[in-house]
């Protein structure tokens, strides 16, 4: 069975295509290469884990795929769009419509309820207030927090806060979910619950997920694992 194929469905289109990607940063007059000639295909509906030691470039690659950063050279095509050709304004609009973000430290707004936090990405859409609240409540129900809509982040456990963050990531129905160490700040039980949820989003909703992790247990939940070593994909 070749890459990009399933056992029953035959070839799948690629959700992400990375071609000959180079990225360096300048620091104190020195050029620090981070990624060197990286090419990668992620088929639609795939759950990919990127692993590698600290400084290997895995988070940089994730940020480039998500349109948070730009490469020095190379092309990145996500859901058929060459995002390396977009202006900054176009890229911001594209991210809002197509990418759901999950981070290690949740990034919830402490003075907003769970419902209000999840509703935030929808403020950029043309939905009415009632439609936004309905969509946000549905996303929270999907992650098992329908009883916590009015709770503030400080009233929730770490695992619950991460589930709110996941609800926020999926509320716009993105074509791609990127997760940067999503279990890195959680105990083992909460981490398992979050990974179960990511598996459900992938298996039941068909979401394409690219996850950066240093945790072998987390990586084992993915369907495909790739390793970065010193900026090169193994």
pLDDT in tens, the chain (234 residues): 344 444 445 567 889 999 999 999 888 878 888 899 999 999 999 999 999 878 788 889 999 999 888 999 999 999 888 999 999 999 888 888 888 888 877 789 999 999 999 998 888 777 888 898 998 999 999 888 888 889 999 999 888 998 899 899 888 888 899 998 888 877 888 888 889 889 888 988 888 999 998 888 888 889 999 998 887 887
Q: Which pLDDT belongs to residue 10? A: 55
Measure the CA–CA gap between 25 and 8, rounded to whole angstroms: 43
Helix (H, G, I), strand (E, B) or coil at 202: helix
Q: Which pLDDT belongs to residue 130? A: 87
Is CATH 3.30.499.10 the classification given to domain 5-233? no
Helix (H, G, I), strand (E, B) or coil at 184: coil
Q: Which pLDDT belongs to residue 8? A: 47
Measure the CA–CA gap between 49 and 63, rounded to whole angstroms: 14
Q: Which pLDDT belongs to residue 129? A: 84
Q: Which pLDDT belongs to residue 81? A: 87
Measure the CA–CA gap between 226 and 3, rounded to whole angstroms: 13
Measure the CA–CA gap between 148 and 171, rounded to whole angstroms: 16
Q: Which pLDDT belongs to residue 217? A: 86
Which pTM value belongs to this model? 0.85
Q: Which pLDDT belongs to residue 189? A: 86
Phi/psi of residue 215, nearest 5 degrees? -95, 115
Q: Which pLDDT belongs to residue 2? A: 43
Q: Which pLDDT belongs to residue 11? A: 66
Phi/psi of residue 29, nearest 5 degrees? 80, 0
Q: Where are the domains of the chain?
A: 5-233
């Amino acid at each position: 069975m070749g890459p990009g194929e399933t056992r029953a469905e035959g070839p799948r289109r690629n959700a992400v295509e990375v071609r000959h990607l180079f990225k360096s940063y300048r620091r104190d007059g020195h050029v620090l290469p981070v990624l060197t000639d990286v090419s990668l295909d992620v088929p639609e509906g795939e759950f990919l884990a990127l692993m590698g030691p600290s400084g290997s470039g895995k988070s940089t690659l994730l940020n480039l795929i998500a349109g948070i950063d730009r490469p020095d050279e190379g092309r990145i095509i996500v859901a058929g769009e060459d995002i390396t050709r977009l202006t900054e304004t176009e890229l911001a609009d594209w991210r809002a419509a197509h990418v759901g973000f999950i981070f290690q430290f949740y990034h919830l707004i402490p003075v907003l309820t769970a419902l209000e936090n999840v509703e935030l990405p929808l403020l950029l859409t043309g939905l009415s207030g009632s439609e936004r609240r309905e969509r946000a409540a549905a996303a929270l129900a999907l992650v098992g927090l329908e009883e916590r809509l009015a709770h503030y982040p400080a009233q929730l456990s770490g695992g619950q806060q991460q589930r709110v963050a996941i609800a926020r990531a999926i509320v716009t129905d993105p074509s791609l979910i990127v997760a940067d160490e999503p279990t890195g700040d959680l105990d083992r039980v909460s981490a398992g619950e979050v990974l179960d949820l990511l598996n459900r989003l992938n298996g039941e909703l068909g979401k394409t997920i690219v996850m950066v992790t240093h945790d072998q247990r987390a990586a084992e939940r993915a369907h495909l694992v790739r390793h970065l070593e010193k900026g090169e994909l193994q």
